[in-house]
Amino acid sequence: MYGFDNIAANNGWAIAVIGASIVFAGLVVLSFAISQIHKILELWDKRDISKERQKEAPATSGAQQIRGTAYKAQHLPSVNDLISVYRPLVEQLKEPFELSQLFEISNKMDLAHPHLSIKQLWDADVLIALGDGAFIWNKQKGN
């Protein structure tokens, strides 16, 4: 028996498909490895730096030291300060106004933390909710 009959009789087609699949899978793995070689080379270049850092870092007893600047909590201004800043902005709006309008104006003015500032004014009853997203400025507390 010769030719295609011999191939079919001895599972040659299955062996050919398996072989092609193995070669294709190998090429996929190789192309992935080549695409990530820049990361491997970067790690290789930085190996001396990481060794120096390990030598410099003193051994601590289980606790990790945090390097860098310490976190400094930024506190919001007082309600009175916020009133003096936001009163002119509210005067530009027709009452009742929406908070989104006040927020847009405060963003344009580049005020710090407009969400938190507006929330603080609302908590202090300087901004009074009328319902349906409408608010007014409490002139008794906001002056």
Digit-coded pLDDT (tens) for 74-117: 677 888 888 888 888 888 888 888 888 888 888 888 888 888 88
pLDDT of 67 above 70 = no
Instruction: Indicate whether 132 and 85 sit together in one domain.
Output: yes
**Starting from the edge strand earliest in sequence, which strands make up the sheet with 134-137, in order?**
97-98, 134-137, 127-131
In a domain, 70, yes or no: no
Q: Are 62 and 101 in contact (CB under 8 A)?
A: no
Number of domains, the chain? 2
Question: Residue type at 34?
Answer: I
Same domain, 88 and 123: yes
Host domain of residue 31: 4-54
* Least trusted range by pLDDT, from 8-12, 39-43, 48-52, 53-57: 53-57
More confident residue, 104 or 19: 19
Whether the pLDDT of residue 72 is over 60: the answer is no
Same domain membership, residue 83 and residue 50 = no
pTM score, two decimals? Answer: 0.46
- 143 within a domain of the structure (yes/no): no
Asked if residue 73 is part of any domain, the answer here is no
